[in-house]
């Protein structure tokens, strides 16, 4: 056990799985970096933010493959390799680039097993960074997990801390279905105690980061930390919250969400993705349908507006959910007055 960053935890998960299973390979743009350059340094970058640093040195060019900047062909190649005996971990760099290769994910990879009558296995992991907070603007800041969650055949993982990232990524690499693994780019330097050895965290099992009596907060990825910050503050004001980190949006741990809502009767959902048809909308529908009678107040969603992610810091801060917005939403559901029917 030692303190590790989100970046190190993800790197270690890949390294341990590559040592364990020779079929695990890494591919993506600049995952080594430097091939064809004039310095002769062939692992110059280790990924654009250094997440795959050192893997090329340990495993060599047959297992750590730099690609041209052609997402459709190499994501498709990762799928084809997965369907024929390898276990690729393909890095899509920014999830926004899925626009260049969505067909290979949506129409090919995700559907192989079903449309071929259960005869295909596609153990593919696509890693990508997502999220706003770095002034990366509209084409490098989106939180597109609802897009993938919408597609049957894909599993979608959103780790909320270094510990979670390592266990969930090892689980993803060992999983026999295609997995989209989304890393919030603002979290790479977050640190916490992470075991040195390999461990797995199962998909579809939510983590309760705290338990309380008054309000259930469901949050994803980086929002889990913000939800806990808000809950700390609310605790001092006498409001106790449960915070649920679902860990995966597909599969989604519906039971834990419904159980917690049954206990608290109030629900706030914190979702960084664009508001229409996002996870907040999805979970709202679930709770409205399955736990309507438990609700003491309307569901509140802490979500961005229906706009592209803006560039300027002042606008980006307005755009994003934060602890203050979460706190306000919790207070709003606490203060809701039930009007009795006459």
Partner 1 sequence: MQIARETLLRSYRAMRTIRDFEERLHVEFATGEIPGFVHLYCGEEASGVGVCANLTDNDTISSTHRGHGHCIAKGVEVSGMMAEIYGKSTGVCRGKGGSMHIADFSRGMLGANGIVGGGPPLMCGAALSHKTLKDGGIAVAFYGDGASNEGTTLESLNLATVWKLPVVFVVEDNGYGEATGSSFAVAGTQKDRAAGFGMPYLECDGSDFFAVYQTAGEAIAHARAGNGPIMLHVHLQRWYGHFEGDAMTYRAAGEVAEAKRDHDCLDLFRKKVTEAGLLEHAELDAIDEAVRDEIESSVVAAKAAPLPEPADLLADVYVRY
Binding stretches for partner 1 (CB under 8 A) = 23, 25, 62-63, 65, 67-68, 70, 72-86, 88, 103-104, 107-108, 111-121, 152-153, 155, 175-177, 204, 251
Beta strand pairing call for 2-5 and 191-194: antiparallel
Catalytic, 184? Answer no
Indicate the residue among 156 and 243 with the shorter CB distance to partner 1: 156
Is residue 92 within 8 Å of 75, Cβ to Cβ?
yes
Using omega within 30 degrees of 0 as the cis cutoff, is the peptide bond preceding 336 cis? no
Q: Least Å distance between CB 73 and partner 1?
A: 4
Catalytic residue among 140, 150, 306, 336: 140
Q: Least Å distance between CB 258 and partner 1?
A: 18
What is the spatial distance between Cα 31 and Cα 78, in angstroms, rounded to a whole number? 14
Beta strand pairing call for 215-219 and 267-270: parallel
Is residue 301 within 8 Å of 251, Cβ to Cβ?
no
Indicate the residue among 158 and 303 with the shorter CB distance to partner 1: 158
Indicate the residue among 12 and 175 with the shorter CB distance to partner 1: 175
SS3 assignment for 272-295: CCCCCCCHHHHHHHHHHHHCHHHC
CA dihedral 199, 82, 147, 183 (to 10 degrees): 40
Q: Which residue's structure tokens are 């064809």? A: 36
Phi and psi for 319 in degrees, rounded to 5? -65, -45
Q: Least Å distance between CB 116 and partner 1?
A: 5
**C-alpha angle 167/23/145, rounded to 5°?**
45
The neighbouring-strand residues paired with 302 are 270
Indicate the residue among 42 and 120 with the shorter CB distance to partner 1: 120
Indicate the residue among 174 and 233 with the shorter CB distance to partner 1: 174
Q: Least Å distance between CB 38 and partner 1?
A: 18
Q: Least Å distance between CB 257 and partner 1?
A: 17
- Please identify every residue annotated as catalytic: 140
């Amino acid at each position: 056990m030692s303190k590790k960053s989100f970046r190190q935890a993800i790197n270690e998960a890949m390294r341990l799985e590559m040592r364990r299973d020779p079929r695990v390979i890494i591919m993506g743009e600049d995952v080594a970096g430097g091939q064809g350059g004039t310095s002769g340094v062939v692992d110059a970058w280790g990924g654009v933010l250094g997440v795959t640093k050192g893997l090329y040195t340990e495993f060599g060019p047959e297992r750590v493959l730099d690609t041209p900047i052609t997402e459709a062909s190499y994501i498709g190649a990762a799928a084809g390799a997965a369907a024929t005996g390898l276990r690729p971990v393909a890095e899509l760099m920014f999830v926004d680039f899925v626009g260049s290769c969505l067909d290979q994910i949506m129409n090919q990879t995700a559907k192989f097993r079903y449309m071929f009558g259960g005869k295909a296995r596609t153990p593919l992991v696509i890693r990508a960074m997502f999220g706003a907070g770095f002034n990366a603007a509209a084409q490098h800041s989106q939180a597109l997990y609802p897009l993938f969650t919408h597609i049957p055949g894909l599993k979608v993982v959103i780790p909320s801390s270094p510990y979670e990232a390592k266990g969930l990524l090892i689980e993803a690499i060992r999983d026999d279905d295609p997995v989209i693994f989304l890393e919030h780019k603002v979290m790479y330097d977050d640190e916490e105690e992470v075991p040195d050895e390999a461990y797995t965290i199962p998909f579809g099992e939510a983590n309760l980061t705290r338990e309380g009596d008054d309000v259930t907060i469901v949050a994803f990825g980086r929002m889990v930390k913000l939800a806990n910050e808000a809950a700390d503050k609310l605790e001092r004001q006498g409001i106790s919250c449960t915070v649920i980190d679902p860990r995966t949006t597909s599969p989604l741990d519906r039971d834990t969400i419904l159980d917690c809502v049954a206990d608290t009767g109030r629900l706030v959902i914190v979702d960084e993705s664009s508001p229409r048809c996002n996870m907040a909308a999805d979970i709202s529908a679930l709770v409205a349908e399955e736990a309507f009678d438990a609700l003491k107040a309307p569901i509140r969603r802490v979500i961005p507006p229906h706009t592209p992610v803006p560039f300027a810091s002042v606008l980006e801060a307005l755009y994003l959910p934060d602890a203050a917005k979460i706190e306000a939403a919790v207070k709003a559901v606490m203060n809701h007055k039930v009007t009795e029917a006459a």
